[in-house]
Amino acid sequence: MIELIHLLINGIVLGSILALGAVGATMIFGVLRFAHFAHGDFMAVGAYFALTVVTVFNLPVLAALPVAMLGMAGLAVGIDQLIYRRIRRVQPVILLISSFATALILRSAIQMIWGGSNQVYEVGIQLPWRIGPIAIKPDHVLIVAAAAILVLLVHGFLTRTRMGKAMRAMSDNMDLALITGIPAERVIMWTWAIGGALAAAAGVLLGMDTRLHPTMGWTLLLPIFAATILGGIGRPYGAILGGLVIGCAMELSTLVLPGTYKPAVAFAIMILTLIVRPQGIIKGSV
Amino acid sequence: MSLIQAEGLYAGYGGVDILRGVHLHVEADEIVVIVGPNGAGKSTAMKALFGLVPIRAGTVTYLGENITNRPPERMVTRGVAYVPQEANIFPSLSVLENLELGAYAVPGDLTPRLEKVFALFPRLKERRRQQAGVMSGGERQMVAMGRALMVDPHLLMLDEPTAGLSPRLIDETIQRIQEINQLGIGVLMVEQNARQALAVADRGYVLATGENRHEDTGPALLADPEVAEMFLGG
């Protein structure tokens, strides 16, 4: 029983991280109609941005989080302007392959700049808080709290601001958005900025939970896509739900399967969703 | 000066001209209806005017200004609103959000514009928090027209606004269109329910195979035996 609760806690932590990545990926898909394969590496770059801030200015990780988010938002917009914008009107598969290439470039850049070995934000062991027999790591609480705050901010942005509503509108009905006079290019830039910032946040939180490594984001790309498909492609709220479900399923699977099969569990859920309910939990836009 | 005027339009998709020398014009206070058989190019004509289909030859002038091939967002800011036949709402957004986004290109105080739309369609005010995608066909059409009216247009272009509606709702929609026109908004619409539409139209055009066939006042077209036989189903 205690083990189950601990696994659930781990699942919620992983799920929060996946949710942040999945929200951005699903928004990018909704607005641009392509699966962004470099999203995992956006996470990794964000995590390393924070590492630089932490080491250079000797700040706590959570203080470096906004800086990393801002940096990654700018980088995401820059990558879009430099690479994706030019090929947006050709076949979607070319866009998809180019995002794959972008992923490789980013990962190699991380290795060149920060090195290929494991790194951590803070050295040392955190003593867990104990609630009766249950042990909770303070970092886990911080991760879930930070993710929850960011999700609330995204919710506020999507429902209260003009740009957020325009983004949902474009995701809903691209042609009508054009007819209505919604400025597609501005919406696309904002989508990249927010998608990039959320990916960076996911990366930093992942780095807090585990460690930093150039492939840290890449290995989470599959669970993130699984979360977006499970939640309904193009549906931010679905992606949050999908992230939590996939995260918990991955952690709980270790009760019966070796831990190395965690990504396989996410993959299985993705395939199952595509067979049984391809539109996702919340009916997606595809 | 005409509100909008098209001369000798050749337009279509991928090098194939669907319109071949179409001309039409709408005056500021008019309801103008385009009728014709399927494939006549009625919807293409609307899209070409609005900048959604490339015009290969011919000109479109709006309030005396040449606007040929101008992109849709520039049309909206100049006061032309277009309601496509299908997929004309944002389904996952609320009614109010649909209306707010209608005004995206022409920001400013939305309250008077919302009041205007709600006065025309009181049902939308009642259901403004409703997700637009789950509403009935008639209500969705109201949302679509309301969204277009939020730009405070001089010209409202409607592509088959009564398609798929029940006879009662068709009457109601046509009546709403007349009310919109009485607010001083020019209306250009394509309509399958040609008899009802022509009955309220100031003028009508009959298109067939991408060319103008007839044009006259609405009642005169209805009375024309040839038009009636060929295009209005006898």
Between the alpha carbon of residue B133 and those of residues A95, A263, A283, B40, B164, the distances in Å are 30, 36, 12, 30, 16
pLDDT at B233: 64
**CATH architecture of the domain with range A2-115+132-276:** Orthogonal Bundle (1.10)
Which of B47, B49, B101 best probes binding to A when mutated, by most A CB atoms within 10 angstroms? Answer: B101
pLDDT at B234: 47
Structure pTM?
A: 0.92
Pairing of strands B4-13, B16-26: antiparallel
* Nearest Cα to Cα of residue B76 among A123, A89, A176: A176
Tell me the domain boundaries of chain A.
2-115+132-276
pLDDT at B230: 76
* Residue in chain A lying closest to B103 (CA): A180
A165 CA to chain B: closest CA distance, Å? 7
Task: Indicate the residue of B84, B89, B104 with minimum beta-carbon distance to A182.
Answer: B104
| Chain A residues touching chain B at CB-CB below 8 Å | 162, 165-166, 168-169, 172-173, 175-183
**pLDDT tens by residue, B108-167:** 899 999 999 999 999 999 999 999 999 999 999 999 999 999 999 999 999 999 998 999
Task: Indicate the residue of B72, B93, B151 with minimum beta-carbon distance to A178.
Answer: B72
Task: Indicate the residue of A162, A169, A180 with minimum beta-carbon distance to B76.
Answer: A180
ipTM: 0.92
How is residue A25 written in tokens?
A: 């990926």
B59 with B7: CB under 8 angstroms? yes
Q: Which fold has domain B29-51+79-231?
A: Rossmann fold (3.40.50)
Query: What is the secondary structure of A109-147 as a DSSP string?
Result: HHHHHH-SS-B-SS-S-PPPEEETTEEE-HHHHHHHHHH
pLDDT at B63: 95
Residues 6+ apart with CB under 8 A from B223: none
Report the alpha-carbon distance of residue B205 to residue B214 in Å, rounded: 6
Helix or strand (DSSP H, E) at B172: helix B167-182
Evaluate the CA torsion angle A231, A233, A239, A243 in order and state its sign.
Answer: positive
The amino acid present at B216, given as its one-letter code, is D
Cβ of A176 and B87 within 8 Å? yes
A178 CA to chain B: closest CA distance, Å? 7
B152/A contact by beta carbon, under 8 A: no
* Residue in chain A lying closest to B157 (CA): A179
Mean pLDDT in chain B? 94
Spell out, as residue ranges, where chain B has pLDDT lower than 70. Answer: 233-234
Cβ of A168 and B52 within 8 Å? no
A9 CA to chain B: closest CA distance, Å? 33
pLDDT in tens, chain A (286 residues): 889 999 999 999 999 999 999 999 999 999 998 899 999 999 999 999 999 999 999 999 999 999 999 999 999 999 999 999 999 888 888 999 999 999 999 999 999 999 999 999 988 788 899 988 899 999 999 999 999 999 999 999 999 999 999 999 999 999 999 999 999 999 999 999 999 999 999 999 999 999 999 999 999 999 999 999 999 988 999 999 999 999 999 999 999 999 999 999 999 999 999 999 988 887 765 4
